[in-house]
Structure 1
């Protein structure tokens, strides 16, 4: 499965000159965890996450401490440009989801902008990956059968079962046909593994 089949699109972006409060409102209104930051030409210059937006926004409540804290608090950041991450990991629409998921697990990154050339065309987040994996087995089965009917109509009848995202296929005893339907099944969102069972 490819990133373009799971990403959130269109991407909700923000300018580096936007205020922290504007960014917070956009995050809440669109129910996202991060915003790609783009310049006037639409080029990606950073990303700002919920954690970035919270940085320095709360002052300590004196009721929570036995003694008042000494010294004046540092001024809170005002603009997205002051808190955004500039070194941004990106993906392409044709990036393999398995590869991207491994990267996200390894780096603990929650959201990754998706670029087509220099244009931000979407965002892929952990939530998007979970939503893909949470698709019902019946829907995955229907999509596998539809894909086989559309792209391998002469491949003969195939028995398709799906359990917890694992697709099991059985049909013609034909290695070439098996290879084709296996590839087709792997492209279906929510399919975590594809197994070919010997035909009976």
Structure 2
């Protein structure tokens, strides 16, 4: 499965000149945890997350302490450009989702912008990956059979059973090339985690 099949598009973005409070409202209203920062020319110049925006926004409440608490020595940053991350990990639309998921788990990154060349075309979050895996087995089975019927000769001769995203394919005997093609097609269907080829009877 490719990133373009899991990404969210169009992308919610913020300007580097937006205030921190404006960016907080954008993330909150769109129920997202991060947004690419895009300048007036449309180029992505960074990314800003909930944690970047929350840093320094809350003053200590004196009711929570036995003795007076000193206020911050400096005011918190006011613009997105002051808090955004400029060293951004990105993906391409043709990146393998499995590769991207592994990188996100290894680095604890929650959201990754998707670039086609220099153009921002999508965003992949952990929630997007969860949505793919949450697809029901019956829907995955129907999608696998539809893809086989559409993309390969004799595709209607194949059957599929799906359990927790694992597809068991069964088809005509004697054609190893066709079996390989069927397995490859099934693996491209969103929600498929593994494909097993059953031996023909």
Q: TM-score, normalised by structure 2?
A: 0.96
CA shift for structure 1 position 153? 3.2
User: 1:28: how far off?
Assistant: 1.7
SS at match of 1:199: coil
Other-structure match for 2:185: 184
Aligned length: 200
Structure 1 runs (4+) greater than 4 angstroms displaced: none
Could you tell me which runs of 5 or more consecutive residues in structure 2 were left unpaired when the two chains were aligned.
none
Structure 1 residues 60, 73: closer, same or farther in 2, change over 3 A?
Answer: farther
Question: RMSD in angstroms over aligned alpha carbons?
Answer: 1.1
SS at match of 1:161: strand
Contact 1:156/1:172, CA 8 A, preserved across alignment = no
C-alpha displacement of 1:158:
0.9
Give the alignment of 1:1-200 within 5 angstroms.
Answer: 1-70=1-70, 72-155=72-155, 157-173=157-173, 174-200=175-201
SS of the residue corresponding to residue 100 of structure 1 reads helix
Name the SS of the counterpart of 2:157 in structure 1.
coil
> In the TM superposition, what is the alpha-carbon distance from 1:154 to its structure 2 partner?
2.5
Structure 2 CA distance for aligned equivalents of residues 146 and 33 of structure 1 = 35
> Per-residue deviation at 1:106?
0.2
Q: Using a 3 Å threshold, how does the CA distance of structure 1 residues 56 and 199 change in structure 2: closer, same or farther?
A: same
**SS in structure 1 at match of 2:59:** coil
Q: Distance in 2 between matches of 1:153 and 1:118?
A: 38
Quote the offset at 1:49 in angstroms: 0.5
Indicate if the aligned counterparts of 1:59 and 1:73 stay in contact, CA closer than 8 A: no
Ranges in structure 1 where 5+ consecutive residues have no aligned partner: none
8 A Cα contact 1:155 1:177, kept in partner = no
The range that moved more, 88-97 or 24-33, is 24-33
- Aligned with 1:115: secondary structure? strand
Q: Distance in 1 between matches of 2:132 and 2:70?
A: 50
Farther-moved stretch of structure 1 (64-73 vs 180-189): 64-73
Contact 1:93–1:114 at 8 Å: present in 2 too?
yes
What is the alpha-carbon distance in structure 2 between the residues aligned to residue 44 and residue 5 of structure 1?
A: 22
Q: 1:72 to 1:27 in 2, by over 3 A?
A: closer
TM-score (norm 1): 0.97
